[in-house]
Homo-oligomer: A and B are copies of this chain.
């Protein structure tokens, strides 16, 4: 069979936008970033961390975008977190010099890749089992690499992490006794605390997490092992994490974009970040007469935290009511006119992290015009 590629190697998909274009000209579905709101979010979080004297290490799993990591580091972030070893690779390539893998790994292949990264940047990772310590030591010895290792403690999430201070101590001793590993301290992250709706619920969960971490620090200290760093916390609990006196470093990610789901939480004024990330979609059918069909569905957004909300036009009167693979159904909640065929509709995704993971680029805009295209270079890197 003839392949057309060989006949016409130049034939490729056009970029979704060009700098200077009006926002209405962006091809859809596309991911839009309001650069002014994004920059205010970055400044606000860095300012809060600086004021508290706590290091900011933003979570790059939220954006997977080296251009954003560089903007965070330029404002004072000490580096970034990644959730997977492979996810770190494009950030190392982009020159981010200090990356924490805020997670455990359990296979020699992943340990070998991490050791290879550790020869190119300052890398750290978490453990919650002595077998992980041995595996990391073996990989680093083979690669002649040095790696910082954190003990993860379970502070309420019920996911990864050792259950008590004695287990943490044994692991810290194993790390300290490994010639290619350095004990970095504790990771104490309570993901479930981030998404509770009221401030009081989040305050209580964050306080318990911090107390549990503090007790473990004391136990290790009594055994002569210093926790140089206690890392954890997130966008939902940052006001409490910063004030805890326990965390020396915070790991928020979502503040950059502010998910639809997070946006429905109750916030204090200083912690309410702005929605900066939107999905641009287009009305592709109005034949029913009673609804508008958008070209953005399950392949253009994650719906695990609910369907997107409408940002423009008519956020009060229009509702995105159903998502199929490549279709979104919009209805009007009162007598408001539906957007017409070909109209652009902007959506706020319910959960930004897995939505980002669907796109190859972010279209940055300011004052209604496209300013930049940033590659989502770590998209799909979950290994």
A contact set with B: CB distance below 8 Å: 1-5, 7-8, 11-14, 16, 25, 27-30, 61, 70, 73, 83-84, 86, 89, 92-95, 97, 103-107, 109-110, 113, 116, 120-121, 128-129, 131-132, 154, 158-163, 167, 191, 282-289, 291, 293, 295-296, 298-300, 302-304, 323-327, 329, 341-342, 351, 353-354, 357-360, 379-383
Q: Are A380 and B354 in contact, CB atoms less than 8 angstroms apart?
A: no
Q: Are B120 and A1 in contact, CB atoms less than 8 angstroms apart?
A: no
Smallest Cβ-Cβ distance to A300: which chain B residue: B382
Measured between beta carbons, the chain B residues less than 8 angstroms from A167 are: 287
Q: Are A4 and B61 in contact, CB atoms less than 8 angstroms apart?
A: no
Q: A29-B382, A120-B8 are in contact. Are A326 and B1 (CB under 8 A)?
A: no
Smallest Cβ-Cβ distance to A302: which chain B residue: B298
Measured between beta carbons, the chain B residues less than 8 angstroms from A160 are: 284-285, 287-288, 293, 327
Chain A residues touching B, majority SS: loop
Q: Are A1 and B284 in contact, CB atoms less than 8 angstroms apart?
A: no
Please tell me which one of the listed residues B28, B106, B154 contacts residue A383 in the complex, with CB atoms under 8 A apart.
B28
Q: A11-B93, A27-B110 are in contact. Are A285 and B128 (CB under 8 A)?
A: yes
Please report the C-alpha to C-alpha distance between residue A7 and residue B107 in the assembled complex, in whole angstroms: 27
Measured between beta carbons, the chain B residues less than 8 angstroms from A302 are: 298
Please tell me which one of the listed residues B2, B120, B291, B351 contacts residue A95 in the complex, with CB atoms under 8 A apart.
B2
Measured between beta carbons, the chain B residues less than 8 angstroms from A129 are: 285-287, 341
Measured between beta carbons, the chain B residues less than 8 angstroms from A289 are: 163
Smallest Cβ-Cβ distance to A83: which chain B residue: B326
Please report the C-alpha to C-alpha distance between residue A158 and residue B191 in the assembled complex, in whole angstroms: 39
Smallest Cβ-Cβ distance to A85: which chain B residue: B13
Nearest CB of B to A108, in Å = 9
Please tell me which one of the listed residues B73, B287, B323 contacts residue A163 in the complex, with CB atoms under 8 A apart.
B287
Interface CB pairs A-B, < 8 A, 30: A1-B95, A4-B92, A4-B93, A4-B95, A4-B120, A4-B121, A12-B89, A14-B113, A16-B383, A25-B109, A28-B107, A28-B383, A104-B293, A105-B284, A105-B295, A106-B285, A106-B295, A106-B341, A129-B286, A129-B287, A131-B341, A131-B342, A158-B291, A159-B288, A159-B329, A160-B284, A167-B287, A298-B302, A299-B382, A303-B304
Measured between beta carbons, the chain B residues less than 8 angstroms from A299 are: 353-354, 357, 382
Q: Are A293 and B159 in contact, CB atoms less than 8 angstroms apart?
A: yes
Given contacts A4-B92, A103-B326, A160-B293, 8 further A-B contacts (CB under 8 A): A3-B93, A11-B116, A158-B288, A161-B287, A163-B287, A191-B324, A300-B382, A360-B380
Please tell me which one of the listed residues B1, B61, B116, B287 contacts residue A128 in the complex, with CB atoms under 8 A apart.
B287
Q: Are A304 and B287 in contact, CB atoms less than 8 angstroms apart?
A: no
Measured between beta carbons, the chain B residues less than 8 angstroms from A285 are: 104, 106, 128-129, 159-161
Please report the C-alpha to C-alpha distance between residue A358 and residue B64 in the assembled complex, in whole angstroms: 14
Q: Are A354 and B382 in contact, CB atoms less than 8 angstroms apart?
A: no
Q: Which of A61, A300, A326 has the most CB of B within 10 A?
A: A326
Q: Which of A14, A70, A289 has the most CB of B within 10 A?
A: A14
Please report the C-alpha to C-alpha distance between residue A324 and residue B300 in the assembled complex, in whole angstroms: 19
Please tell me which one of the listed residues B97, B105, B329 contacts residue A1 in the complex, with CB atoms under 8 A apart.
B97
